[in-house]
Structure 1
């Protein structure tokens, strides 16, 4: 059983049944492996949650890096809209909600600080770049509470308007 499959099973379990259902036995069953197989990769529930948080951060970093715009903020903006519209947002909400432990969320806090500091010195207008990044955080928050609030046209308009705030 691969580590990624176990993380997928844990995220699926969280999405389907909530954080109270996240047990090592339930994850092993969902993944179709023995509890020992799960324990080989994740010795504790906390290690499993930490693995999910770390994977989310890595995936978002990769999404930002693959956007191809000329500034970090434009890449961050595009990655945010990609993540929200693809359903990745749901994964973030359930994984972070499942931890209930500030220690387990420390990597996420560190990543958030990095995402909001990254490249600001090289932005043509650092203050506007910060405003756009904060708007992205607001979008994440609102969409996590009501995923169906905006349709594709509204997302496209919001993204266009935020891009218009940034210098070319």
Structure 2
């Protein structure tokens, strides 16, 4: 019996490690670098072992997209839970808070870059994000003036998120807190 047969199997851990490798390859070298051979070599698993979890490059990218989307959803749900039910602008405030929350996995620079690359290269990834944002926008109410202001706040939060991803506007914690407060106040 080989060592591989005696070793304990931890499929979720292996799957998670494989997706971490995919994320790193994607961000460091671009989508073209994510191949089954490259992932299996960097992860230290056989190509057959990789294909046990993910049949193709597309399956790897889809799984990473799903993982990143789930990370965003978890952060957004936590921010939304902090908002008072029925209070106008609560979904926009939760979105703004999520974009500014460095504690959420989806706001770490590597994850941000992976999300950006996946959204640019995978139409279904873009569509998933769009559908989720459209549903959140529907929660902003029927008053066009209020809905427009809340959309502007969301777009400003997106701008902050992208500026952090690209390291365009570095800011200290005090300034970040002031900008966040400004956007949250505009959501009221």
Structure 1 length-normalised TM: 0.81
Q: Which residue of 2 is the match for residue 149 of structure 1?
A: 170
**RMSD between aligned residues:** 2.7
In the aligned structure 1, how far is the partner of 2:55 from the partner of 2:126?
18
Aligned match of 1:100 in 115, 121, 135? 121
Q: Figure out how many residues of one structure are paired with residues of the other and give that number.
A: 165
Q: 1:114-159: CA deviations, max 9, x gaps?
A: 34x2521299x43322121111122222222226622322221210
Task: Tell me the secondary structure at the aligned position of residue 33 of structure 1.
Answer: coil
Q: Which residue of 1 is the match for residue 28 of structure 2?
A: 16
Given the alignment of the two structures, is residue 31 of structure 1 paired with residue 29 of structure 2, yes or no? no
Unpaired runs of 5+ in structure 2? Answer: 1-10, 85-89
In the aligned structure 2, how far is the partner of 1:11 from the partner of 1:92?
10
C-alpha contact 1:18 1:94 (8 A) present in aligned 2: no
Task: Tell me the secondary structure at the aligned position of residue 55 of structure 2.
Answer: coil
Given the alignment of the two structures, is residue 91 of structure 1 paired with residue 91 of structure 2, yes or no? no
Given the alignment of the two structures, is residue 5 of structure 1 paired with residue 17 of structure 2, yes or no? yes
Greater CA radius of gyration, 1 or 2? Answer: 2
Q: Which residue of 1 is the match for residue 149 of structure 2?
A: 128
Aligned match of 1:69 in 83, 86, 90? 83
